[in-house]
Copies of this chain bind each other. A is one copy, B any other.
Amino acid sequence: MKAVILSTGDEILTGAIVDSNAAYIAGKLVEAGVFVYRKYSVGDDLDEIISVLTEIGTRSDIAIVTGGLGPTRDDLTAEAVAKAASVPLIFSEEADRSIKAYFRKRNRSEHIADKKQAMLPDGSICLPNPVGTAPGFITKIGQCHLFCIPGVPSEMQYLMSHAVLPEIKKRFEDEKQVFRIKKISLFGLPESVVGEKIDELSSHFPEVKLGLRAHFPMIQIRLYAAGKQDDRIREQMEKAGEWVMERLGQWIFSKAGLSMEEEIGRLLARKKATLGVAESCTGGLISHMLTNVPGSSSYFIFSAVAYSNQAKIQVLNVSTDSLDSYGAVSRQVVREMAKGVRDVSGATYGLATSGIAGPDGGTPEKPTGTICIGIATPDKVYAKTLQLSFEDRIKNKTIFAMAALEMLRREITGYAVS
């Protein structure tokens, strides 16, 4: 089963909106075991839509078309499908009932323009739409099963789950496959090196496909496989996962594909431990990441974003002597910050950062990209300095935050990956 997705609408082509519908639909199709091999976007242009539909009709088993079903003049999908399939547009009683029901339920009156939405290509099956005015429809162009649904995200999502996916399942029952995916999260290596280290995967596990996804600075390795025999797929996936662990274990922080903040949250919650953070160069990003995780209030107690020396002294009890002798970006100061925030918050762990995110503030001894990370635990306080310079301030902040959380993760786990 080979599928394509076609998004229509000028707003996609001008970049006015990001086409998140296409990603949603692709994800749902992949989960259903349908392979998406191409996506198209075209504007509200009749000839262009017809041209793409004609091409799709000769190449695909399934096509999902979004947008262009509304009441206005630039909604052209039904007309283009009719032309591409060489059939007339005819009035659909069922589509008309769907539109009337929608308006009745909302005590709104139908406009003449809305009648246009009941004109469907001859031979179509109407997909009633209880969450919007425009019904969808299913038809065929050549050998391709064409599912046309609205572009409004909530309506698209409703019709995908209630009409399109069940119908695809029914029509392609015989070709159904099991689909499995495994995600592994890693930090500390560039994508090229990760790719190189596991490049041979497919020669060992021919059924397993490999994908790398870089969310700077985290990399997610994705293993996926599809087939008829679930047992075999599952076994291959497990072995491939172990094979990856052998090669990249020391950089992997979650075998379940979690983000760093989710993994830290999971570890702290499991230990019933709590955390206080003192941020200088990361400027609040560590706190923001941690508090993005639902339930983080059970382990995240307090963070001091202490940009000024005065705040470091007053809130975190950093000594003026240390600031004068070593400077704010020093192992001595982050040790005191980590201890200070642990004391003031009463948390199990204290984590502190101080560094130079740039573009200004670097010196020959401490260039942009220098970061000191401090950790305080119930029985020790320690720190390290790293050089991690990237192109811009936001990237530097991001990698600083990840490096600090990774150091904390190693402290909590004693270097084990769970």
A residues whose Cβ falls under 8 Å from a Cβ of B: 10-20, 22-30, 36-43, 45, 48, 52, 70-74, 106, 108, 111-114, 131, 133, 152, 154, 190-193, 195-196, 199, 209-214, 216, 222, 224, 277, 279, 283-288, 290-292, 294-297, 300-308, 310-311, 314-315, 344-346, 357-361, 389, 391-395, 397
Contacts and interface: CB of A to CB of B under 8 A. Distances in A.
Please indicate which of the listed interface residues A13, A30, A71, A152 has the most CB atoms of chain B within 10 Å of its own CB: A13
Q: How many copies does the complex hold?
A: 2
A379 B151 CA distance: 46
Contacts of A310: 301-302, 345-346
B195 A72 contact: yes
Contact of A73 (B16, B74, B195): B195
Contacts of A395: 154
24 contacts: A13-B36, A13-B38, A14-B224, A15-B22, A15-B26, A15-B213, A19-B19, A38-B42, A111-B192, A111-B196, A283-B287, A283-B292, A284-B290, A284-B291, A287-B287, A291-B307, A291-B357, A292-B397, A296-B307, A297-B308, A300-B307, A301-B308, A311-B345, A314-B344
Contact of A344 (B70, B112, B302, B315): B315
Nearest to A281: B291
A290 B17 CA distance: 22
Nearest to A212: B16
Contacts of A29: 15
A153 to B, nearest CB: 9
Contacts of A306: 302
Contacts of A301: 307-308, 310-311
A298 to B, nearest CB: 10
Contacts of A311: 301-302, 344-345
A297 B290 CA distance: 23
Contact of A213 (B17, B22, B24, B195): B17
Contacts of A111: 192-193, 196
A152 B108 CA distance: 47
Nearest to A346: B310
Nearest to A27: B15
A307 B296 CA distance: 9
